[in-house]
Amino acid sequence: MDTPLKFEILAIDTTEKSEIQTVSAFLHGLASISLLSKGKPELDDQNGQINLGNLNVKVNQLKPTTEGDEEISYVELGNAFSITVTGSYDSLEPMRIIIIEFLKKREFDVLYVLVDKVSEEIAYQIYPLIYQVENLLRAYLVKYMTRREGTKWLDKISKNVKHMDQKVEKRKNNEIVFGKHIDNKIYLFDFGDLGEIIYTHSSGFITKEDIISKVSELAETPEAIKKLKEEVQSNYQKFFKASFKDKQFQQKWEDLEKIRHKVAHNNLFTHDDLTKGKSLSEELITIINTAMETVPTERVGLEELEAKEKESNLDLTDITEDEFLKELRDQEEYYSGQGGFVSITRFIQAHLESQNYSVSSAYKLVKELKSQGKIELYKVDNPYNQDKQTTAIRIVREQTD
């Protein structure tokens, strides 16, 4: 960071209490600060400059202006100076606050930072790390929760949390290119929302009404009480204890969120912000990448899937045999025209679920219809990976006649 950077301040003494009334007095005041200078200061009163060895300072005094032939200014700034300081990052970064404190002690009661290339440099370094952390967590949540809760997992959470549901509705048209083709709801949530999915929210029922309803229906047995306690746990306790909670994820995430807010609002930074931002980002990336390696690969059983659907607040419909066969027949006709097949996973977890049919009821029906000989499951080569096979589903020929 050897490229010269600029720091510019507007200093105003509205009460006219400051002893500094001229550019020359200003320069001599700066020269008296031992911490600012490396070697003997070189003053240039005529041009309003001082060379402090590692910093160069230019001072201009702002004169009140009048309009036309008026003898007075209708907006009096008082005693005002603009101060421009240039130097390398290492020289300028720690001196900014020293200069500001000097001005404050000299009765300049209004101070504005007009340009701060040091903060800009720090923001440039921090933002890519925060971007990486934020989207890495998005990827993890999608992989983990889709596997554990199905493709409607985010709907379950956002429906239970009013402000998240409102954000989805308000921002759903923000992305007009990719949004036409993908489920981009996870990109509609802020940095803080993503963290809360890990350590605050639940993908099951969490509203007061839900809990009261569940308690009123609860069997008074130790097993039922234990199950209820598990159901009302937050995601932090239920899914992410070992991978996130035990590693103080929440505190780290919230600390980085504060720095992210400063980046988003183009705020001022110190080198400590840079050091902390880098450290937190690296720690969070490690936590998330480690968790990514342990994303569950085991199959979710039908009983567990059914329980999860009951826990959710989604308005799901149990599919009937006639509805199932009609939807399957339509899909067969569509894909047969392309020489293709109907994947059972896509048929149930994408096609039927998109129509708010219960996935568990659909899989139950598969078992029943298969045992009755009305449908069959068979293996086909995966068109996207010739080393793997995909399970396809079709109606037994006699049923189509």
Flag the least confident range among 102-111, 202-211, 273-282.
202-211
Name the average pLDDT for the chain: 84
For residue 106, pLDDT beyond 60 = yes
Q: 142-187: per-residue pLDDT in tens? A: 998 888 777 778 877 776 666 777 777 787 777 778 888 888 888 8
Instruction: Look at the block and give the residue holding tokens 């996130």.
Output: 244
Asked if residues 81 and 23 have their Cβ atoms less than 8 Å apart, the reply is yes
Structure tokens at 45: 């009163």
From the candidate CATH numbers 2.40.40.20, 1.10.10.10, 2.60.40.420, 2.40.30.10, the one assigned to the domain spanning 321-395: 1.10.10.10
Mean pLDDT within 47-54:
92
pLDDT of residue 205: 44
Query: Domain segments of the chain: what residues?
Result: 5-108, 123-203+249-304, 321-395
CATH no., domain 5-108 = 3.30.310
Q: Which residue has the higher pLDDT, 148 or 377?
A: 377
Decide if pLDDT at 245 tops 90.
Answer: no
Would you state the pLDDT for residue 104? 95
Burial of 47 (0-12, 13-18, 19+ CB in 10 A): exposed
5-13 and 385-395: which strand pairing? unpaired
* Average pLDDT score over residue span 279-284: 98
Paired tokens of 151: 């493709």
Beta-carbon contacts of residue 390 (< 8 Å; ≥ 6 apart):
341, 343, 345, 379, 380, 381, 382
